[in-house]
Structure 1
């Protein structure tokens, strides 16, 4: 049975250092290329902006009264109004 090749401690350290440097370089390259481009903000209609301001006012009122649980329910339905669901979701998505 042939004897396995013996490597000196310096060779092991050098190989480990080269692999670490290659891993760090690969991680840096992947991080630089994987960053998504920021999406430009879509303009919000005046009606939706007013509705969002109303929601924020209700949340502020709840905080002032000590009801800071973050739960707010609206039953307001508007005939012929814009659907502001996407704008509301986009505006408050950072709060989660």
Structure 2
């Protein structure tokens, strides 16, 4: 039975370094190739645009009144029975502000 090839610690470290670098490069390549394409902007209806403008005005007023306190600005939503409650438009518009 043949004797196994003996490797020094430096050789093992070099092999593991090369394998780790190859794995990181492959992972980075896969992540870059599977990035989702940006979605085209959806047109916002006039009712939703009015709601967004109203909320931004309320935020601007709250920012002016803020005097260093730990206040919380809340919004309540009342269902008016409309088909489009602008949930997606509001989410899309204010998601960029985070």
Does the 8 Å contact 1:44/1:87 carry over to 2? Answer: yes
RMSD of aligned C-alpha atoms?
Answer: 3.0
- Residue 17 (structure 1) aligned with residue 13 (structure 2): no
- Residue 47 (structure 1) aligned with residue 47 (structure 2): yes
Q: Hey, what does 1:28 align to over in structure 2?
A: 28
Query: TM-score, normalising length from structure 1?
Result: 0.72
Q: Hey, what does 1:89 align to over in structure 2?
A: 91
Q: Distance in 2 between matches of 1:70 and 1:41?
A: 30
With over 3 angstroms needed to count, the CA separation of the structure-2 counterparts of 1:63 and 1:16, relative to structure 1, is same
Does the 8 Å contact 1:48/1:87 carry over to 2? Answer: yes
Query: Structure 2: which 5+ runs fail to align?
Result: none
- Residue correspondences, number: 95
Q: Distance in 2 between matches of 1:15 and 1:27?
A: 18
